[in-house]
Amino acid sequence: MKSEKGDLICGSRAHLETDSIAARSAFRTVLMKGFHFCVWLFGSKSVLDTQCGFKLMNRDCAIILFHNLHIERWAFDVELIKIAEAIGLNITEVAVNWEEIDGSKLDPVSASIQMLRDLFLLWLRYAFRLWVIQIRHKKDN
């Protein structure tokens, strides 16, 4: 299942951070920086941009990762990466271009509160082994 190029490939806008900060409001920039710190503290330390929607993996990795996934909201990406880190998958970030478009229906304050809650609960549940990672192996036929 191991791959030299990456078992889990995550799209990343981190290479555009300077440009994206200039294009965002100060409020959204503070939320983004705060969220990145909380992800680093409670979740993943290996991926700079956990929230970019692009994730690529092979079938075997997908089965293991999604079988163990608990979070169904905005922070599910962080748990997915946390599981991949815990089982030693090779995680690679690739640069993707993006453009922020006005008209988002997302309420940044309530979404941030929900995501922070999920990040803390993610850390707590794995730290106290309320959630454990199970790896299913294929049966030899």
pLDDT of residue 52: 82
pLDDT of residue 34: 86
Low-confidence ranges of the chain (pLDDT < 70): 1-5, 15-24, 100, 137-141
pLDDT digits (tens, 9 = 90+) for 77-97: 999 999 999 999 999 988 888
Instruction: Note whether residue 34 is domain-resident.
Output: yes
Cα 91 to Cα 73: distance, rounded to the nearest angstrom: 22
pLDDT for 4: 54
Is 109 domain-assigned? yes
**Alpha-carbon distance 115 to 94, whole Å?**
24
Number of domains in the chain: 1
Nearest partner of 10 among 45, 51, 41, 43, judged by Cα: 51
Q: What is the pLDDT of residue 22?
A: 46
53 found inside a domain: yes
Residue 44 sits in which domain range? 8-127
Whether residue 134 is contained in a domain is answered as no
